[in-house]
Each structure stands twice: as structure tokens, then as C-alpha cells.
Amino acid sequence: MTVNYSEDSIRTLDWKEHIRKRPGMYIGKLGDGTSSDDGIYVLLKEAMDNSIDEYMMGFGKTIDIEITGQRVKVRDYGRGIPLGKVLDVVSKMNTGAKYDSKVFKKSVGLNGVGIKAVNALSANFKIEAYREGEKKAIEFAHGEIVLDEENQPTTEKNGTMVLFKPDSQLFGDFHYIEEYIETMVRNYVYLNSGLTINLNGKKFFSDNGLRDLLEENISSDGLYPIIHLKGYDIEVALTHGNGYGEEYYSFVNGQFTSQGGTHLIAFREALVKTIREFYHKDFDPSDIRTSVVAAISIKVEEPVFESQTKTKLGSKNISPDGISVTNFIRDFLKKELDNYLHRNSETADILHRKILDSEKERKAISDIKKIAKQRAKKSNLHNKKLRDCRFHFNTAEELKRETMIFITEGDSASGSITKSRDVNTQAVFSLKGKPLNTYGLTKKVVYENEEFHLLQAALDIEEGIENLRYNKVIVATDADVDGMHIRLLLMTFFLQFFPDLIKNGHLYILQTPLFRVRNKKETIYCYSETEREEAMKKLGQNPEITRFKGLGEISPDEFKHFIGKDIRLDPVRLRRDDAVNDLLEFYMGKNTPERQDFIVENLKVEVINEG
């Protein structure tokens, strides 16, 4: 068949058509709200960013946010959009004050797209601007204007109100998770000391900036008091913990850059250089950075991000004609961190001992690592246990979010998933029996234990999660007691040695159906007793009911339904108030009598409730 390519084949999309047709270009993935980077949170962030920029320029100390079901309202008390330009700002691409660096010198949004994306991707969108006793209100539906009021007098304080409901045609049956929004709001107040954000009546405020951020987020006490350094256009807070890995919170112009960028690379390098020079010793970078918890915030004129969602900084310079980001951060740390360590000898001594302990452990396991790698290579175990996919996390940017690896128990379960999976994006790693309880063990167990060494190699996280090969690491075990136990053992392993894998939202639990209810015309898969009862009612008299006892009992043809576009995943999340060490010690430690009493007491409560 020959396709006619002529002038009629060329069409120009207007602003809203392009955004709705290619939403990924503007907000990343769509999603239903179960992941913190789903599009509905990006829309909220875009609406908030304009209010944050007003505060950064010195206008409006309070922002009010109300979220009712699927509807979002953001009200700031800044200067208010100039009334004659409200329509242009929300519906004309590449329109905004942020192109004028005198007005918004170091703002979050610079491309004039953000609020237009909110408008275009919302079923209903309303904006009101209040300025010097006058109000301008405009309403849209699916990006189409439905109401454009004349300016009216008002008693409202200066500022802007945005009200929107994301379009369910695009986002499906979505819902907001309060925890994700609170994290976003907390980051905003940490980065803007003096700003108050009211979220559904709950007040968020920070006096101490990034120091407050670390105190709120570290899961255990730091080895030494948080080092808090502030300079012109830069703020840093850091300490070390007792765990493994590196944990960073990086920001540019108040924007959380979850994927880091040039500023985070520069900070990690500058930290190593400064500490080496302070102690006059050429420490290995990993010994310096192991268990570091740090936050860095810088301000950049006209920042360049690597995507519209602004999660990774690409700018090499602080300003178009300024010094490089690398030199700016290096010079700041060289002066301020070096001075701090000279003035605080106790902290300097604790940090020195921590580095030496890390060095000692690293050298102690170096021989074990070599033996483990040789053993795995010789027996070809890596290839036997891993069925890889064609795309990896560190390939093209647009494929990153799609890659996943299923960690399964036994050959039958891994066989079913392997036959059902999308070979481009889904990998499978097969465990042999129950893994070791790693709580309280040192990292050498990762290399001494064959299963964990090969799992670490499969994920490529030996040097940290920057090289993580899959966006989602999915624990896929049977929905029984043994399967739950394996889940706990795997989560303990990741919490113990790779906590940033969880903190960065990469670990998930696969939900698989407990029942299949069917008749001659229809089959319904049920994930709970309630769903089973509803399916039985729907299908009428005497439907066939199958109880799946394990993943290996589900045929490959059926498995396609559960790991395809309708896959159900429970994210493993660490809440702000989770005391990880206490949790692990209680549930995975050697306090068997206490744990037994806890189980017995809770069983009694369950029996009483059932009765």
C-alpha cells in the first residue's frame, strides 16, 4: 500500500492539541498517582512553582493549597498576574515574565510552558488574578476557553488563584497520595525559609532550611551534628550515618532535582577533594562518601534542565557569563567546609574515624569480592539466574521509566513470568529458596552469599544506584506465609545495604490474583475476598472458582494479564517518621520472645474483631 505524502499530510497543532497529544514531553509519564513522579503531581508542582517564584522575588509569604478528591486549588499572595495578560499566560506557548531576568532572575520555570500544560491537561481549569482591587477570571475545559470575564472590582488581597481538575480521559481513575504532596511541600519550605504553606489546613514552615530537611529525613541519628553551610546562592547540609550507600537531596532554584545533574556531580567531587586536602590523605572516594546524607541547593540564572519535568540540571555555568557550576561549588566547600572542620575538631575526629572504618571494611572484603566474582563467572551462575531484557535503565532517557526486574522464588514462578514478559523492558531474577536474614550483618555478606552477590550484580548497584539497570525492582513472591517471609528478607537486605534504592522509589511488590472466577462467557481475576464475592455476584450461579496457591500455578498466558499494562504494584515507601533501625531490630532481630508476644497479642485482637 502506497501512502500519499503531500501538502495535506502536513498539519500544525495548536498549543493545547500538542500538549494533549504528547503529554510526556511536558509532564513525563501520566500515571494514576501511585508513583511520586506521576503526572498529576507534576501539574500540582507547575501550579505551585509560579507561586514559589513570587516568594523568591520577595512577594507573598503564604501559599494556600486545598486538595479535595481530584480537585486542586493553589492560592498565593504575590503581585498577581497583570490582568491584561492572564489569558496569554495560561494559553499562549512561550509566554511569561520569566523570560525577563530582571523580574524573575533565578526562577524555577523558564520555558513559559508549565501553567499551559496544567490548563491543557485538565478537565476543568480556572484562574483568577487579583491586583490592586481588581479581579480577572478565566475558565477552560480540556484547554478550550469557556468563560472570559471582564475585569471586576474585588476585596481579595493581591495574588493568583489556580483551580484545576486533571483530565480523567488522560489520567484514568487517579488519586492523590497525601504523603507525596507533603514531601513536595516540605521541600518547598526547607528551601524557602520564612515561607508558610498551608496544605488542607496543615501548616508547613521551616526556620533552618536544609538542616531541617536532613533532621526530618535521616532514619537514625547522624554520627556527628549536621554541618550546615550557607553562602550567596548556595546552601549545603551534611552528616554521615551508620548505613551504606549515599543519600542526596539536590535542588536548583527551589526545584527538587531527583536525578541530580551537574550540581550534584560537582558536589560529590568537591566533597572528596576538600576532605582529602583537610586530612592530607588520598582517601578512596567511596570511603569518604559511604553513608553520607547531604542536601545541596544552588541558584542558577536561566537554568537548563534535561527535560520539561526539571529533574536533572544540565547547566554548566551559574549564569550565562558566570563561573562554572563545578568551580562555584568546589570553591564554596573548599572554604566553608574546611573552615568548619578546623573550628569543630570533635566533628572532624568523628568524620576521620568514620572514613578509616569504611576503608578498613572495604579492604577486608576486597578479596571476598574477587573470589565471589570469579566463582560466579566460572559457574556462569549470573546468566542462569538472570533473564535480562533488551533495554536498561541507563539507556535512552525515554526508556528509563519502562524497565523493570522481577525477583521471583523458584523455577516454576520465574518460568511463568519469563514466558509472559515483555522481553524489551522486563527482566527476571530467580531466587533459590529463602534468602539469608541480613539484619546486623556487614556488607561482606553481599559477596559471601551467592544469591545476594548475584542479585547485586544483576542490578549493578555495587557502586551505588546511579548505575541501577532497571527503574522498578519488583519482588514477585507467592501470596502465602512463605512468600511474605521472602518479601521481608529481601526488604531487610535492601534497607540494610541499599536504602537509597527504596528512598528513591525503585522497590515494589507485585500484586497477583488470589482467585479466578469464571463461567463460559467471562473470566474475572480477583485480588481479595471482596473482589471474589463481587465477581461471584456478577457471574451468577455456580461460577468456577480457582484459588491460586502460588505464582507457578498461573499459566504464562494468564500471567500476561498481571504484568502487562494493568500491572498492580505496591510501592515500598519509607515514611518520614519510620525509624528503620528500630523496625528492623524488632521484626528481624534476635528478640524472639518480644516478637512472639507481639504476634500473640495481635492475633487476639484479630480474633476479637472477627467475633
The answer to whether 533 and 472 are in contact (CB under 8 A) is no
pLDDT exceeding 90 applies to what percent of the chain? 34
- Specify the residue for cell string 550540581: 263
Compute the average pLDDT of residues 506-534. Answer: 90
Residue 115 in this model has a pLDDT that exceeds 70:
yes
Residue 75 in this model has a pLDDT that exceeds 70:
yes
Phi, psi of 245 (to 5 degrees): 80, 180
Where does the pLDDT of residue 269 fall: very low under 50, low under 70, confident under 90, or very high at 90 and above? very high
The total of other beta-carbon atoms located within 10 Å of residue 36's CB is 18
The answer to whether 453 and 372 are in contact (CB under 8 A) is yes
* pLDDT for position 149: 87
Highest mean pLDDT out of 236-240, 385-389, 455-459: 236-240
Give the Cα separation of 439 and 418 in Å (integer). 31
Q: What is the mean pLDDT of the chain?
A: 83
Task: Tell which residue, 228, 166, 223, has the closest CA to residue 42.
Answer: 166
Which pairing describes strands 196-199 and 62-68: parallel, antiparallel, or unpaired?
A: parallel
Give the Cα separation of 90 and 550 in Å (integer). 52
DSSP 109-174: --SS-HHHHHHHTEEEEEEEEEETTEEEEEEEETTEEEEEPPPEE--SPSEEEEEEEE-HHHH-S-
User: E strand or H helix at 33, and its extent?
Assistant: none
* pLDDT for position 101: 46
- Specify the residue for cell string 549536621: 226
Task: Tell which residue, 112, 106, 115, 114, has the closest CA to residue 302.
Answer: 106
Topology of 16-204 in CATH? Heat Shock Protein 90 (3.30.565)
Give the Cα separation of 404 and 426 in Å (integer). 5
Give the Cα separation of 18 and 25 in Å (integer). 9
Give the Cα separation of 302 and 428 in Å (integer). 43
- Summarised one tens digit per residue, pLDDT across range 490-507 is 998 998 888 888 888 899
* pLDDT for position 377: 64
Residue 601 in this model has a pLDDT that exceeds 90:
no
Q: Can you give the residue ranges of every domain in the chain?
A: 16-204, 210-362, 380-512+560-578, 515-547, 582-611
Residue 163 in this model has a pLDDT that exceeds 90:
yes
* pLDDT for position 431: 87
CATH of segment(s) 380-512+560-578 = 3.40.50.670
- CATH architecture for the domain at 210-362: 2-Layer Sandwich (3.30)
- Summarised one tens digit per residue, pLDDT across range 333-352 is 999 999 999 999 999 999 99
Give the Cα separation of 552 and 563 in Å (integer). 14
* pLDDT for position 138: 92
- Summarised one tens digit per residue, pLDDT across range 353-365 is 999 999 998 888 8
Planar angle of CA 156, 161, 165, nearest 5 degrees: 145
The answer to whether 44 and 174 are in contact (CB under 8 A) is no
Residue 456 in this model has a pLDDT that exceeds 60:
yes
Give the Cα separation of 582 and 587 in Å (integer). 9
- Name the pTM for this structure: 0.74
* pLDDT for position 13: 54
Residue 33 in this model has a pLDDT that exceeds 90:
no
Planar angle of CA 167, 173, 175, nearest 5 degrees: 90
Paired with 406 in beta bridges are 428, 474
* pLDDT for position 607: 43
Compute the average pLDDT of residues 583-587. Answer: 69
Residue 595 in this model has a pLDDT that exceeds 60:
yes
| Residue scoring higher pLDDT (413 or 55) | 55
* pLDDT for position 166: 92
- Specify the residue for cell string 574477587: 370
